[in-house]
Structure 1
Amino acid sequence: MALASTEKVILGSIAFSIFWVLAVFPSVPFLPVGRTAGSLLGAMLMVIFRVVTPDQAYTAIDLPILGLLFGTMVVSVYLEKADMFKHLGKLLSWKSKGAHDLLLRICLISAISSALFTNDTSCVVLTEFVLKIATQHNLPPDPFLLALATSANIGSSATLIGNPQNLVIAAQSKISFGSFLVGILPAMVIGILVNALMLLCMYWKLLSIQKDKEDAASEGVDEEDMSSHPLLAATMSHCISLNLQERNSNFEPMDIQSPPATVNGDANHVESLRNRLTSNETSRYKRILWKSCVYLITIGMLISLLMGLNMSWTAITAALALVVLDFKDARPCLEKVSYSLLIFFCGMFITVNGFNGTEIPSTLSDWMEPHAKVNRASGIAVLAVVILVFSNIASNVPTVLLLGGPVAASAAAISAAEEKKSWLILAWVSSVAGNLSLLGSAANLIVCEQARCDPDRGYTLSFWNHLKFGVPSTIIVTAIGLILIS
């Protein structure tokens, strides 16, 4: 396919390049405005340079994707308010049998929560729990933070609401939620297991040494050391408090005749305490009932998605049902929605649409098509490498927007089954590609930034530590998943 006019190609490439630089490196010294502003800047330049008209720019914004993203974010906010993620955090350390068991739990919980509530949300709420548990058990944070980030990326591939690029695929491919889940789930499960085994192999010795040190320290501790250990000190203070309460309850005062006024005062005080306890008990039951309803609505949303109902309106309906159920001013909860992400998507849609108008992606697709047929093993390998490279250079969401249409059209020319397979391959590789480097996905950056900014347990996950595990893990997990999907 021929390129557009030279002027349109040059100006469109400039606008897209500015968007790409600010999306991948949001704090560049010459223009540190961030990803959201960079996305809007790219969109505005596409209009100013007349690569797209204002009407075409508005048309390029995909409202179903924005509606689905908004609905899932609101549902996640209310699930967090209902302590769902706190319960997930408690599961990480409940009856844990050591560091290796803890690592496997993190992989499992991160994958499941990411498939249901998006990988970015899971990383935001679980990083603090993971870092806290690692610090309390005197364990190195690196393997656990890697387990959280990499498992979140792999797990998010299983559903159409697991990550932003899958939301794009949901809108463009028209594949049903259940069909997509069945197609990707085996690859996701095996991928999580392989990723966890690779983490255990790489960090087994380090985790074993740290566990031995912890056990030796706990065996040799005496009474004087107990007060200095935060966990033991907290336990002792709790026990002392209970003992004092028990002694006070068993204490029998001398039989002294009290004045009637004092007796009446005590009776009023007891009645006040009884009313307060009754009120607290009622509030507790209301809270439990409200939480149960939040979980039921969320389950109902997932069932509706599996039944093939419109994904965008299903998510929005569930979000509004939770707002009404809360029966309070929704502004505090709605303010937690990442509107900057929604604006970023709007700008990205316009920018990518303008870049497509230059015909550069179509030309590259035409050149790649004969070598990337999804009905051949060699073609799948070439397509996977292209997606992997593009996802780490241009980020996974723009990669799906740029490659999705041409790849699906090429596969559709073979058969409908091959078209579906092409979308599954695109979803799988673009999701797992985020594990290649620290800059590969937003989930990685969220884990790194959350850990670094933690006020009590600040820790930096280095680019090299992520890379030396991410490269082999990404290659092996991607290859295994492609075999299962194909």
Structure 2
Amino acid sequence: MTALVLTVFALVYLGMALGRLPGLQVDRTGIALLGAIALLLAGVMDDRALVAAVDFPTLFILLGLMVLSAQFELAGFYGWCADRVARARRSPEALLGLVVLTGGALSAVLANDVVVFAMTPLLCAGLAARGLDPRPYLIALAGAANAGSAATLIGNPQNILIGQVGGLGFWPFLAACGVPALLALGCVYVTVARVWRGRLVCPGGAGAPVAVPELDRWQLGKGALGTLALLALFATPLPHEQGVLAVAACMLVSRKLGSRRMLGLVDWHLLLLFASLFVVTRALADTGLPGQVVGDMAAAGLPLERLAVLAPLSLLASNSIGNVPAVALLMQVWPDPSDGALYALAVLSTLAGNLLLTGSMANLIVAERAAAVGVRLSFAEHARCGIPMTLSSTVLASLWLVGMGYVGV
């Protein structure tokens, strides 16, 4: 059975790296699901073991946050933010800073993937209407969404998983990871501003005016109240997943917004990806081999808690198999990591997603949503900014993590 588990695991994570099965229209979620099904049919896991492998509290937190983000989306808030940013009477450089601040702040509290999904089309259109080239601003939006999401337990899926499995508190996490996130936002702005210096204006001139969805202030107020309630609940002994689900339930009770519309904005594919990866990684962990490898590394003087190991591992894994699959695997095989090491994993794996266009889901969403409205963001254009912003932010984050005693060198 061990050989079968290793084979399934290798094929699944190879698929994570490639993005899809060669010659087939099977994406990462489909690949992970096929792996889980193969383990079930082969008898490696029975029904009960498969269900036990899934970390339902993590999935509940993701689901609840997606419902809360749907509340803001249907209120027109993301579109309103994109429009206000694009129409702000500021210089191109100041406007770039506004994009970074807005994308980073929203992604720290709401799911970063949802933020960039909603903001990208209107931001493209609004910037083009002002005669500005949307491409550098889109790179800044994606970079800021990743950097800002590193600050909190609810900023992105991998942080949610780390916090839930590690039993981390919301406010201690913010105290540890907030500063590196702010430093990373500065790196995003400085990098994009320098790389695109003198080229922020679109050669084709101003485009046509943009129609912006109307902002529903009542629904926006409901979403804001729900967010404040959620932050308050994080300061109580109530389990995180119960607090998030309670807020999500309140969002679903509405006389105007249909629950079908709200649930239609939930990323069910991501939830299924998580559940399938839990199964595949649990099967591998049960073989005992990953634990043995981690133990051998520690015996050789290379424990995962060391920054010299964790930083390059996060950078490599996040830009090959993806930060979500990488974190899901590590959390299964890493025995008793310290809180400081988990803070470092959350920050480093998230910032590593800025390196390449394929490094994070937020990057891909921005590129795909921009292409749908006629703005092409190439791999090379992103890499010219992504590589320096990632390396500089990783160095600054590492100095903070070591200086504050969260991890050793």
Q: Same fold (TM over 0.5)?
A: yes
Q: Where does residue 153 of structure 1 map in the other structure?
A: 146
Q: Residues 291, 477 of structure 1: CA spacing in aligned structure 2 closer, same or farther, 3 A cutoff?
A: closer
Within the alignment, does 1:295 sit opposite 2:211 as a pair?
no
| Paired residues for 1:47-446 under 5 Å | 47-207=40-200, 210=201, 230-231=208-209, 288-307=217-236, 309-326=238-255, 329-369=258-298, 370-373=300-303, 379-404=306-331, 406-407=333-334, 409=336, 411=337, 419-446=338-365
Deviations 1:199-243 (A, max 9, x none): 111111323xx38x79xx89xxxxxxxxxx734xx99xxxxxxxx
The 2-side partners of 1:459 and 1:71 are apart by 32
Any unmatched runs of 5+ in structure 2?
403-409
The 2-side partners of 1:146 and 1:328 are apart by 33
Give the greater-gyration-radius structure (CA): 1
The 2-side partners of 1:179 and 1:325 are apart by 34
User: Residue 53 of structure 1: CA displacement?
Assistant: 3.4
Q: Where does residue 400 of structure 2 map in the other structure?
A: 484
Instruction: Give, as a single letter, the amino acid of the residue that structure 2 aligns with 1:319.
Output: A
Segment drifting more, 430-439 vs 84-93: 84-93
Q: Where does residue 4 of structure 2 map in the other structure?
A: 11
- Report the TM-score, using the length of structure 2 for normalisation: 0.90
Segment drifting more, 44-53 vs 388-397: 44-53
Conservation of the 8 A alpha-carbon contact between 2:71 and 2:219:
no
The 2-side partners of 1:385 and 1:366 are apart by 19
The 2-side partners of 1:105 and 1:288 are apart by 22
Q: Where does residue 378 of structure 2 map in the other structure?
A: 462
Q: Where does residue 279 of structure 1 map in the other structure?
A: none
Conservation of the 8 A alpha-carbon contact between 1:361 and 1:402:
no
User: Residue 327 of structure 1: CA displacement?
Assistant: 6.0
Q: Residues 429, 469 of structure 1: CA spacing in aligned structure 2 closer, same or farther, 3 A cutoff?
A: same
The 2-side partners of 1:361 and 1:103 are apart by 44
The 2-side partners of 1:130 and 1:387 are apart by 31
Q: Residues 453, 64 of structure 1: CA spacing in aligned structure 2 closer, same or farther, 3 A cutoff?
A: same
Conservation of the 8 A alpha-carbon contact between 2:291 and 2:334:
no
The 1-side partners of 2:261 and 2:218 are apart by 21
Q: Of 3, 19, 23, which aligns to 2:16?
A: 23
User: Residue 390 of structure 1: CA displacement?
Assistant: 1.6
Aligned length, in residue pairs: 399
User: Residue 59 of structure 1: CA displacement?
Assistant: 0.4
Within the alignment, does 1:449 sit opposite 2:368 as a pair?
yes
The 2-side partners of 1:328 and 1:462 are apart by 37
Conservation of the 8 A alpha-carbon contact between 1:374 and 1:421:
no
Instruction: Give, as a single letter, the amino acid of the residue that structure 2 aligns with 1:338.
Output: D
- Report the TM-score, using the length of structure 1 for normalisation: 0.76
Segment drifting more, 399-408 vs 58-67: 399-408
Q: Residues 360, 391 of structure 1: CA spacing in aligned structure 2 closer, same or farther, 3 A cutoff?
A: farther
Q: Residues 430, 328 of structure 1: CA spacing in aligned structure 2 closer, same or farther, 3 A cutoff?
A: closer
Instruction: Give, as a single letter, the amino acid of the residue that structure 2 aligns with 1:401.
Output: A
Segment drifting more, 289-298 vs 474-483: 289-298
The 2-side partners of 1:328 and 1:194 are apart by 39
The 2-side partners of 1:32 and 1:323 are apart by 34
User: Residue 335 of structure 1: CA displacement?
Assistant: 2.2
Q: Residues 291, 391 of structure 1: CA spacing in aligned structure 2 closer, same or farther, 3 A cutoff?
A: closer
The 1-side partners of 2:320 and 2:44 are apart by 23
Q: Residues 391, 50 of structure 1: CA spacing in aligned structure 2 closer, same or farther, 3 A cutoff?
A: farther
Conservation of the 8 A alpha-carbon contact between 1:176 and 1:308:
no
Give the secondary structure class of the aligned counterpart of 1:71: helix
Any unmatched runs of 5+ in structure 1?
1-6, 219-228, 236-283, 412-418
User: Residue 328 of structure 1: CA displacement?
Assistant: 5.8
Conservation of the 8 A alpha-carbon contact between 1:26 and 1:32:
no
The 1-side partners of 2:304 and 2:32 are apart by 32
Residue identity (%): 28
Greater helix share, structure number: 1
